[in-house]
């Protein structure tokens, strides 16, 4: 197979397969200089820019970037019978061919230079240069190649133009919680988002609310449920789609007509959603990664991954538990970057939260259980707090707070208020939620002792 045919195989695999994990591996390992044909190099350059900036590979957009005159040429490349699963193999052979051409050129130039050297010093300089180049080539394994900023800047300007025109939404993941999306500006394709809270705060329900918002817009969701069976996740999803308490679904004998209509509508809505559930327990992070990568290759429209929850992933052997948790959080972040798919990982908070005074139980970063590495690896950390868990008679009993403990791309510390009704997170007026929480905080603070006025002065009537 000639170098040009190998290069066509690589381009065909990229254009036909789309932005798969294998495609991103090829992009990071195959430098543009390895493509010998000028037109193929230009196509590969546009593929690379589009994938790194937008997380997609689209033939029509690449044709437009090349001037719009090469649709037939791109179609010919796509018709090449190259197998997409063997894309990394084709790319590796292209790199080897490039190295062979480099070596042949180096040896030829060095031999010519040595023959034409006019003195021993020139000859030694040529030999020293040749040895240095040879060692550099041998040391370059082709595993990872940096991307020059000149490759990224033009595509970033395209992103800015789409933002100006209001078309940048396709590059971000929106949760469907309007107030949260406004504060964060959306979730980036490579983000690790940690959703943390004490038991009973609604972490799973909140994550399923995001799944509902993402899949309603056509995206796919993959749920790793290590705490609940797939049928329990299904039941919660149905309850959320129908805005019904889960307890009512377990007693259908006395359903009203309205409840039957809600159930029917929920089933109809969920049938159209691209939601997948893995309910195996005791999974290792390597198994989760392998399943997610295979699913992403099979279903490129996968828009988010949910892991419920971080503490139930089988921990690797380590000297300390915090080191094991650090390995898990780093692996999840690496997986999000490799798949270009945001990962929402649920996490428990330490028990120390419950022992604090009533007005100090809202979670903070130091409450994350087991390891500070979670705080380091996560792009966003969302804390969930409901005062009703501690005090059912609280003035803020129907209010759930989403606290942005960390956010790389927005203001940390912001609070989004949601109504919590029938076990579900619902939109509410932010001013009302803030006022109810303020009243709750004021009511939970200890009352100040009476002043010393009565002790100093006699207050009894004459």
Q: Is 33 left (phi over 0), alpha (psi -120 to 50) or beta?
A: alpha
Residue 460 belongs to some domain of the structure:
no
Q: Quick one: 110 and 217 in the same domain?
A: no
Task: Give residue 205's pLDDT.
Answer: 92
Which helix (DSSP H) or strand (DSSP E) does residue 220 occupy?
A: strand 220-225
Q: How much is the pTM?
A: 0.72
Among 139, 159, 181, the domain boundary falls at 139
Within a 13 Å sphere around the CA of 277, how many CA atoms are in the beta-carbon half? 18
Residue 165 belongs to some domain of the structure:
no
Distance between CA atoms of residues 361 and 375, nearest Å: 19
Tokens for 261?
């209509």
Residue 75 belongs to some domain of the structure:
yes
Residue 373 belongs to some domain of the structure:
yes
Distance between CA atoms of residues 166 and 160, nearest Å: 10
Task: Give residue 109's pLDDT.
Answer: 85
DSSP output for 202-215: -HHHHHHHHHHHHH
Tokens for 451?
């002043």
Strand partners, 187: 173
Q: Quick one: 355 and 418 in the same domain?
A: yes
pLDDT along the chain (462 residues), means of 10: 81 83 80 84 86 78 84 84 74 82 84 86 83 68 61 71 62 85 87 91 92 90 88 89 86 86 89 88 85 85 89 78 83 88 91 84 82 82 91 87 86 87 89 88 72 57 58
Are the CB atoms for 138 and 103 separated by under 8 Å?
no
Task: Give residue 304's pLDDT.
Answer: 93
Q: Quick one: 78 and 203 in the same domain?
A: no
- Count the domains in the chain: 2
Task: Give residue 82's pLDDT.
Answer: 63
Query: Look-up: residue for tokens 């130039």?
Result: 109
- Omega prior to 309 cis, within 30 of 0: yes
Distance between CA atoms of residues 368 and 364, nearest Å: 8
Q: What is the CATH number of the domain that holds 95?
A: 1.10.860.10
Please give the residue range of the domain that contains residue 56. Answer: 3-139
Task: Give residue 195's pLDDT.
Answer: 93
């Amino acid at each position: 197979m000639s170098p040009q045919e190998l290069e066509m195989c690589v381009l065909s695999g990229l254009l036909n397969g789309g932005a798969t994990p294998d495609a991103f591996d090829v992009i990071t390992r195959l430098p543009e200089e390895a493509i010998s044909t000028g037109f193929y190099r230009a196509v590969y350059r546009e593929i690379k820019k589009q994938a790194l900036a937008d997380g997609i590979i689209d033939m029509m957009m690449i044709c437009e970037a090349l001037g719009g005159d090469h649709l037939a040429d791109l179609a010919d490349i796509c018709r090449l019978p190259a197998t997409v699963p063997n894309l990394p193999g084709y790319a590796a052979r292209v790199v080897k061919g490039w190295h062979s051409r480099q070596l042949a050129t180096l040896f030829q130039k060095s031999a010519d230079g040595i023959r034409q050297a006019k003195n021993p010093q020139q000859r030694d300089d040529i030999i020293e240069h040749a040895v240095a180049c040879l060692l550099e080539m041998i040391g370059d394994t082709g595993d990872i190649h940096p991307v020059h900023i000149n490759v990224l800047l033009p595509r970033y300007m395209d992103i800015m133009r789409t933002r100006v025109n209001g078309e940048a939404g396709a590059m971000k993941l929106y949760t469907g919680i309007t107030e949260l999306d406004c504060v964060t500006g959306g979730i980036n394709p490579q983000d690790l988002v940690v959703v943390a809270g004490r038991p009973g705060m609604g972490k799973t329900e909140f994550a399923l609310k995001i799944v509902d918002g993402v899949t309603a817009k056509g995206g796919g969701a993959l749920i790793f449920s290590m705490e609940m069976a797939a049928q329990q996740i299904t039941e919660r999803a149905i309850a959320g789609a129908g805005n019904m308490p889960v307890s009512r679904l377990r007693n259908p004998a006395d359903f009203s007509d309205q409840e039957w209509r809600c159930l029917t509508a929920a089933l109809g809505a969920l049938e159209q959603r691209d939601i997948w559930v893995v309910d195996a327990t005791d999974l290792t992070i390597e198994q989760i990664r392998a399943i997610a990568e295979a699913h992403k290759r099979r279903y490129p429209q996968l828009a988010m991954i949910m892991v419920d929850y971080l503490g139930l992933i089988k921990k690797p052997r380590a000297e300390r538990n915090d080191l094991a948790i650090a390995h898990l959080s780093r692996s999840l972040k690496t997986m999000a970057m490799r798949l270009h798919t945001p990962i929402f990982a649920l996490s428990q908070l330490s028990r120390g939260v419950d022992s604090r005074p009533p007005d100090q139980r809202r979670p903070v970063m130091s409450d994350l259980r087991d390891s500070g590495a979670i705080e380091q690896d996560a792009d966003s950390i969302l804390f969930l707090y409901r005062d009703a868990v501690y005090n059912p008679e609280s003035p803020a009993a129907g209010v759930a707070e989403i606290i942005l403990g960390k956010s790389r791309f927005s203001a940390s510390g912001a609070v989004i208020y949601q109504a919590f009704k029938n076990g579900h997170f619902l939109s509410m007026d932010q001013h009302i939620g803030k006022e109810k929480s303020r009243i709750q905080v004021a009511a939970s603070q200890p009352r100040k002792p009476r002043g010393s006025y009565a002790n100093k002065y006699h207050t009894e009537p004459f």
